[in-house]
Amino acid sequence: MFLKTVQIHQHGGVEQLRYEERADPEIKSAGDAIVNLKAAALNHIDIRIRRGCTGMEVPLPHILGADGAGTVVAIGSAVKNLQLGAAVCLYPPRGCGQCEFCVTDREWLCVNLRVLGECEDGTYAEYVRVPARNCFPIPAGLSFTEAAAFPLVFLTVWRMLVTNADIKAGESILILGIGGGVAMAALQLAAAVGMRIIVTSSSAAKLTQAEQLGAAHGINYREADFAKEVRNLTAKRGVDVVVDCVGGAGWVQSLASLAKGGRLITCGATAGARPQTNLRRIFWNDLKIFGSTLGSREEFGRVLEFLAQSGTKPIIDQVFPLKDAALAQARLEEGKQFGKIVLTMEG
């Protein structure tokens, strides 16, 4: 049997994404599951892997994609948590099970961490093999498209905002680069908690859309110094939390936007990973900086509960058929999206 997939045979531009057939994945261990995917979501890491600039060795040909949702069609002999036909979304990482982090339930910090679509084949395909324990029931009310859109970004944002920053109702938050998956998840979570939200973008349309979703203010960072604007909007106090997954020259402005005792959280550096930092500002103002990536299975479970209880659904920008993955990645690479871009295996 063969499945339809999109894979790369070498690193480079979107022209390297090939829509072709490949042998179906098979059960290899007693704890495996095979999922017939209905949808898969794009993430910026997909682009970095395609370009070959992650520093990781990727076996070629390689199937990209960390996020997916579908139905279980096969399980290993030791699997107890799944039934055939179950509708599931996927927890993307898995650890070695033996290192100091895995044995203390911090699998996402595993020294030999493997994530779908990174060092092993991912979700740009009709079928994927995953550990059965990485399959979770889709929250009530979510479609397959929506269930594929939230895992990586909402898990990461939950750890950033809830676990690390410990956000509270009534606090203020600045979210840089609204429109991307992490920024949108942060906006939705902050709005649900009851925070006062300020966002930045170079797009007036995205700022307007963000205000319609609960942002109190939008700042066009190409037209104004966003740190000064934040100070003006907060009576010179600054905000309690900054979400900066951009880095680069704006890092200094992010630190300058924080109130005393404020928290800056980051999970990316799309504009540069080696920005200038004023250390005096950090210790004089008792600032806290948290780096986050992914999160625990317990945190993933809390995300599922949050989505089910709050009725929150990930914002979908656009849906493409699997065969048009190159067009989908081009849209993401150009920064045109407002929300998640999703591939569907049908049509």
Lookup: tokens for 296: 């625990």
Q: Specify the pTM.
A: 0.94
Look up residue 101 and give its amino acid. Answer: F
Lookup: tokens for 49: 């892997």
Lookup: tokens for 290: 């948290």
- Are 124 and 14 contacting, i.e. CB atoms less than 8 angstroms apart? no
CB neighbour list of residue 13: distance below 8 Å, 6 or more residues apart: 50, 51
CB neighbour list of residue 290: distance below 8 Å, 6 or more residues apart: 160, 164, 165, 263, 264, 265, 266
Written as tens digits, the pLDDT of the chain (347 aa) is 678 999 999 999 999 999 999 998 999 999 999 999 999 999 999 999 999 988 888 889 999 999 999 999 999 999 999 999 999 999 999 888 889 998 888 888 998 888 999 988 999 999 999 999 999 999 999 999 999 999 999 999 999 999 999 999 999 999 999 999 999 999 999 999 999 999 999 999 999 999 999 999 999 999 999 999 999 999 999 999 999 988 878 889 999 999 999 999 998 777 677 888 888 989 999 999 999 889 999 999 999 999 999 999 999 999 999 999 999 999 999 999 999 999 999 75
End-to-end CA distance of the chain: 20
Q: Strands 67-75, 217-220: parallel, antiparallel or unpaired by DSSP?
A: unpaired
Report the chain's mean pLDDT, rounded to a whole number: 94
pLDDT digits (tens, 9 = 90+) for 263-314: 999 987 776 778 888 889 899 999 999 998 899 999 999 999 999 999 999 9
Following DSSP, what letter does each residue of 254-314 receive, concatenated?
Answer: HHHTEEEEEEEEES--TT-S-----HHHHHHTT-EEEE--S--HHHHHHHHHHHHHH---P
